[in-house]
């Protein structure tokens, strides 16, 4: 990346979008064949009907490359200054997955690194990309969020196995003006590490490795205290949304579309109800894809752009919540984008 003089009012502007879902689909009935659950329970408690899952041998980078290629094509780009990959399921603990994604996309030796913010990954990734652009370090950034949660889910844990699916979404961001369509508005981000135990993979890190105790293979699985997490998700997405709308100088009534992290349909309804966002402005794809972690917001943005639920000129509110705990929100005016 090359630094340059930074004009005032410079912002990161979304100029391309893409997404990818692995082809294999698991329905609720498929899960009920091996778990003590049912289609009725899953639909009623989560709103999920099916989810896409990676096949054996497919990794996060494979999803990221597909989504990233589509975002580049949508933008009409063949080069960027940086690739940011937000993921909770990197291909391996070290090195970061982003450099392989950049290389496989033919982007050469550009800056490339991973961001770890679980289901808030897209918003933390937007903040990172915005910072690279605002500082003058980059003119064009590819932000990919890709997660293959089914690779870290305990297949016997009905509390998580029914919720998560795999997928990826990506946006191409260029330097532009803060007042043009696609410019990422003021970002609100937060975290609460005192509640890190609510969503975690306990093993595989320095804490466990330096303990000298025998490793429990179950510690490699993703664990979530669902009921407690639920409450925090509603509170933080609602509060962050209100703050982001206020910082942008807007009222909630100015929002045309709410695109929230697809954690659980009941959480989405609770957040939208508290914000008093009308039913027609609430976008969702959770019935078809489940909770795809950090990928859920750009995946929904890409799908809604393609099917017309989201159109140029719509004022969009994004909000997410996830492990860390972490949360965030931002607004932007949706730009004219080419769907690929």
Residues that bind ligand UT7 (CB under 6 A): 37, 41, 45-46, 119, 158-159, 162-163, 226-227, 229-230, 233, 263-264, 267, 291, 321-322
Report how far residue 153's alpha carbon sits from residue 277's, in angstroms, rounded to the nearest whole number: 33
Selected catalytic residue, list 28, 264, 291, 314: 291
Choice between 20 and 164, CB closer to ligand UT7: 164
Closest approach of Cβ 233 to ligand UT7, in Å? 4
Structure-block tokens of residue 248? 């942008």
- 75 within 8 A of 12, measured Cβ to Cβ: no
Choice between 73 and 269, CB closer to ligand UT7: 269
Structure-block tokens of residue 67? 């989504």
Closest approach of Cβ 56 to ligand UT7, in Å? 24
Choice between 128 and 292, CB closer to ligand UT7: 292
- 324 within 8 A of 59, measured Cβ to Cβ: no
Closest approach of Cβ 159 to ligand UT7, in Å? 5
Query: Known catalytic residue: 261?
Result: yes
Closest approach of Cβ 142 to ligand UT7, in Å? 24
Query: Known catalytic residue: 236?
Result: no
Choice between 12 and 152, CB closer to ligand UT7: 152
Query: Known catalytic residue: 314?
Result: no
Selected catalytic residue, list 28, 119, 236, 285: 119
Choice between 140 and 284, CB closer to ligand UT7: 284
- 138 within 8 A of 144, measured Cβ to Cβ: no
Closest approach of Cβ 134 to ligand UT7, in Å? 28
Choice between 37 and 151, CB closer to ligand UT7: 37
CA dihedral 115→119→120→121, nearest 10 degrees, is 20
Selected catalytic residue, list 236, 261, 285, 314: 261
Closest approach of Cβ 289 to ligand UT7, in Å? 13
Structure-block tokens of residue 14? 């979304």
Catalytic residues: 119, 261, 291
């Amino acid at each position: 990346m090359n630094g340059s003089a930074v004009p005032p009012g410079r912002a990161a502007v979304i100029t391309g979008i893409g997404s990818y879902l692995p082809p294999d689909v698991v329905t609720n009935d498929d899960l009920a064949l091996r778990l003590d659950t049912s289609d009725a329970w899953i639909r009623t408690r989560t709103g999920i009907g099916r989810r896409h899952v990676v096949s054996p041998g497919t990794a996060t980078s494979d999803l990221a490359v597909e989504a990233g290629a589509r975002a580049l094509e949508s933008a009409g780009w063949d080069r960027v200054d940086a690739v940011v990959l937000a993921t909770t399921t990197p291909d391996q603990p070290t090195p970061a997955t982003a450099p392989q994604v950049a290389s496989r996309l033919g982007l050469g030796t550009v800056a490339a690194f991973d961001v770890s913010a679980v289901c808030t990954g897209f918003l933390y990734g937007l903040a990172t990309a915005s910072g690279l652009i605002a500082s003058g370090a980059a003119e064009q950034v590819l932000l990919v969020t890709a997660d293959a949660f089914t690779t870290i889910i305990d297949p016997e844990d009905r509390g998580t196995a029914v919720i998560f699916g795999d997928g990826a979404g990506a946006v191409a961001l260029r330097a532009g003006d803060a007042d043009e369509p696609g410019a990422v508005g003021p970002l609100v981000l937060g975290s609460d590490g005192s509640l890190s135990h609510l969503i975690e993979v306990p093993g595989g890190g320095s804490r466990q490795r330096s303990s000298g105790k025998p490793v429990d293979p179950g510690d490699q699985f993703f664990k979530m205290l669902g009921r407690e997490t639920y409450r925090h998700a509603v509170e933080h997405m609602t509060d962050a949304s209100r703050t982001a709308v206020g910082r942008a100088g807007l009222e909630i009534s100015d929002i045309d579309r709410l695109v929230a992290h697809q954690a659980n349909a009941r959480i989405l309804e609770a957040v939208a109800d508290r914000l008093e966002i009308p039913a027609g402005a609430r976008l969702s794809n959770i019935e078809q894809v489940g909770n795809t972690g950090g990928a859920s917001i750009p995946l929904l943005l890409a799908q809604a752009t393609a099917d017309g639920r989201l159109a140029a000129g719509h004022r969009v509110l994004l909000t997410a919540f996830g492990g860390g705990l972490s949360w965030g929100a931002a607004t932007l005016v949706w730009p004219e984008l080419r769907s690929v």
